[in-house]
Amino acid sequence: MTMKLFIGAITKFLLGVVLVGVLIFLPAGTFSFFNGWLLMGILFIPMFFAGIVMLFKNPDLLKSRLDAKEKQHEQSLVVKLSGLMFLAGFVVAGLGVRFGWYALPKPVVIVAAVIFIIAYILYAEVLRENTYLSRTIEVQENQKVIDTGLYGIVRHPMYSVTLLLFLSMPIVLGSVYSFIIFLVYPFIIAKRIKHEEEFLEKELNGYREYKQKVKYRLIPFIW
């Protein structure tokens, strides 16, 4: 662990808390938004503890997860579109509170929160299985193909998990309109997967054989 990594991680975490809070509560015009606090809690509390664990047990993985600067133009566009999706989705959910738009029933919200937490656990499992994961598309030194665990079911379990995470977020916020906005995510991630697999076939030994072994990219028996 280095002090620079610690400060960088804490800074990004706090900026994330402030940014998401502003995007949700400012459009809502109130802090009395239970769904907003619920999402903030289930999003940032596990993130904090996961960051602490990585800081002490695998600082290299934490560093790679904090590096969000995409080098490839195609993938940079994907990242920007995802950011725009979050911006629009959170703001619309907040506006729904301000103007009294239809809100999803509380039982639906609670189910979505449970799905989100389960997806977070799966996210941690993917990180445990594949310590080469970074937020940018690259091949690291001595990297090998992982084909066990969740990687034996789909080729991109991290993206499968983010699909659950991101599509449950607007439901936790209780916003149908926000959910419609987040439905763009599967198309965004499909574009990223297409280019990522082309890159990995060229740069990662054994990836072409792995594709033959594990047929599905994102969702078992579907795609």
Integer Cα distance of 217 and 131 in angstroms: 19
Contact indicator for 157, 126 with CB cutoff of 8 Å: yes
Integer Cα distance of 183 and 54 in angstroms: 31
Report residue 39's pLDDT band, with 50, 70 and 90 as the boundaries.
very high
Integer Cα distance of 76 and 1 in angstroms: 29
Question: Which pLDDT belongs to residue 92?
Answer: 97
- Provide the token pair at 149: 């665990």
CATH topology of domain 3-213: Four Helix Bundle (Hemerythrin (Met), subunit A) (1.20.120)
- For CA atoms 65, 77, 12, 37, the dihedral sign is negative
Question: Which pLDDT belongs to residue 141?
Answer: 58
CA 108 vs CA 89, 98, 134, 175, 176: distances in Å: 18, 21, 33, 11, 11
Helix (H, G, I), strand (E, B) or coil at 67: coil
Q: Which residues contact 192 (CB under 8 A, 6 or more apart)?
A: 75, 78, 137, 159
In this prediction the pTM is 0.84
**Segments making up each domain of the chain, as ranges:** 3-213
Question: Which pLDDT belongs to residue 71?
Answer: 57
Contact indicator for 111, 42 with CB cutoff of 8 Å: no
CA 66 vs CA 61, 91, 190, 207: distances in Å: 9, 25, 23, 25
Beta bridge partners, 103, equal 175
- Summarised one tens digit per residue, pLDDT across range 161-214 is 999 999 999 999 999 999 999 999 998 888 888 888 888 888 888 888 888 888
Question: Which pLDDT belongs to residue 68?
Answer: 58
More confident residue, 39 or 9: 39
- Summarised one tens digit per residue, pLDDT across range 49-88 is 888 887 777 777 777 667 655 555 556 777 888 899 999 9
Query: What stretch of H or E contains 84?
Result: helix 73-99
Question: Which pLDDT belongs to residue 212?
Answer: 85
Integer Cα distance of 39 and 221 in angstroms: 31
Phi, psi of 4 (to 5 degrees): -60, -45
Question: Which pLDDT belongs to residue 132?
Answer: 67
Closest CA to 155 of 170, 164, 145: 145
Question: Which pLDDT belongs to residue 197?
Answer: 85
Mean pLDDT in residue range 19-44: 96
